[in-house]
Amino acid sequence: MDLIHKFLNLVAPWFTFFSLCLFLPPFYLFKFFLATLGSFFSENVSGKVVIITGASSGIGEHLAYEYGRRGARLALTARREKSLQEVADRAHDLGSPDVITIRADVSNVDDCQRLVEETVNHFGRLDHLVNNAGITSVCMFEGAPPDMTNFRAVMDTNFWGSVYTTRFAVPHLRNSKGKIVVLSSANSWLPEPRTSVYNASKAALAAFFDTLRIELGQDVTITIVTPGHIESEITRDKHLSKEGKMEVEQDMRDVQVSAIPVASVSECAQAIVNSACRGDRSLTQPSWYSATCLWKLFFPEVIEWGCRLFYLTSPGVPHQEAPSKKILDLTAGEKKVLYPSTIQSPEIKTD
């Protein structure tokens, strides 16, 4: 057995190298052809039924508007009922013929079952499931309390919330040859400090739905979305504190986001719906974030060194002194260019 592994250790890297050189160009040419073909035969979602979780704000809110403009019938779910109803009213005004709201917490498995059942009972079918609901935590690992259970909510919402909802939706999506859209993150490969639990939850999402794609085969199409910095409550730094409470801290937002440009949420939502309708496997938005994945793959030490230098301070030095914050302070006049107006003020709901 050891001889077999020694042989594979020697042969596998060279076989992979020559295979990539031989097959990669025609493979990507074929993918480009399929993508071009898909743009001409994109799905028309008019009259289709779409569930969107986390629809009361951010990307989920604007996905509701984008699907609404295209005439889809919507089931919107979130915990904040008043905000959810406001989104539903606007989506209806933009063109959705029928919008229902379902107050639910996706970290609760019973709520996930109920939201799928209420949707199917009302509309009679389900065509798209958009797993968007998510929260983040911002805390150095060693700065967290020894009892890490305060951060369980991040995994419960981001990962298990998508898994629970998908489990109840899959039989209906099989019947309609439907689609699943899952919001992972570029942080699933970028090791940004202070967000280790959030990063892990998003990496888990990508791994789970890559596997599920194989299990479901051609019956259900899965699009994994990996956004970078998009205008939302997260980029305004609404996060779970180490005490387990939702809070907003603009200084921490400036440290974590720094002078990295924040993309428009409406453009992101449009790109996501276009990608789902084409049946794409994945989408990174803005697309330039894809380059960071290549850097992580080929130069992981450079990425790790850069993140350590950019985001961290010496022990005992407050996070406000991080180079990322100082860089933003030096370009304070450019904040209006780098940040959309909706995230320049920290005044958002923390309930």
For residue 55, give the amino acid letter.
Answer: A
pLDDT of residue 153: 94
Residue 169's pLDDT is: 98
pLDDT digits (tens, 9 = 90+) for 79-126: 999 999 999 999 999 999 999 999 999 999 999 999 999 999 999 999
Catalytic residue among 65, 198, 311, 339: 198
What sign for the dihedral angle of Cα 239, 108, 63, 88?
negative
Fold of domain 35-343: Rossmann fold (3.40.50)
Rounded to 5 degrees, what are φ and ψ at 299?
A: -130, 60
Q: What is the pLDDT of residue 350?
A: 46
Q: Exposed (0-12), middle (13-18) or buried (19+): which is 115, by Cβ within 10 Å?
A: buried
* Range in 69-78, 125-134, 207-216, 244-253 the model is least confident about: 244-253
The strand order across the sheet containing 282-285 reads 99-103, 73-78, 49-53, 128-131, 179-183, 221-227, 282-285
Rounded Cα gap, residues 184 and 199, in angstroms:
9
Q: What is the mean pLDDT of the chain?
A: 89
Do the Cβ atoms of 127 and 48 come closer than 8 Å? yes
- Stretch 64-72: mean pLDDT, rounded? 97
The length of the chain, given as a count of residues: 351
Cα separations in angstroms, 153 against 90, 115, 202, 267, 322: 30, 20, 13, 29, 27
Active site residue 289: no
pLDDT of res. 145: 86
Listed residue (185, 210, 215) closest to 293, CA to CA: 185
Is 121 within 8 Å of 100 (Cβ atoms)? no
Angstrom distance (rounded) from CA 305 to CA 295:
12
- State percent of the chain over pLDDT 90: 64
Task: Using the predicted structure, report yes or no on whether residue 351 has a pLDDT greater than 50.
Answer: no
pLDDT per residue as tens digits for the range 149-178:
889 999 999 999 999 999 999 999 999 999
163: tokens are: 């898994």
Tell me the three-class secondary structure of the chain, residue by residue: CHHHHHHHHHHHHHHHHHHHHHHHHHHHHHHHHHHHHHHHCCCCCCCCEEEEECCCCHHHHHHHHHHHHCCCEEEEEECCHHHHHHHHHHHHHHCCCCEEEEECCCCCHHHHHHHHHHHHHHHCCCCEEEECCCCCECCCHHHCCCCHHHHHHHHHHHHHHHHHHHHHHHHHHHHHCCEEEEECCHHHCCCCCCCHHHHHHHHHHHHHHHHHHHHHCCCCEEEEEEECCECCCCCCCEEECCCCCEEECHHHHHHHHCCCCCECHHHHHHHHHHHHHHCCCEEEECHHHHHHHHHHHHCHHHHHHHHHHHHCCCCCCCHHHCHHHHHHHHCHHHHHHHCCHHHCCCCCCCC
* Overall pTM > 0.85: yes
pLDDT digits (tens, 9 = 90+) for 232-261: 887 777 888 777 788 887 778 888 888 888
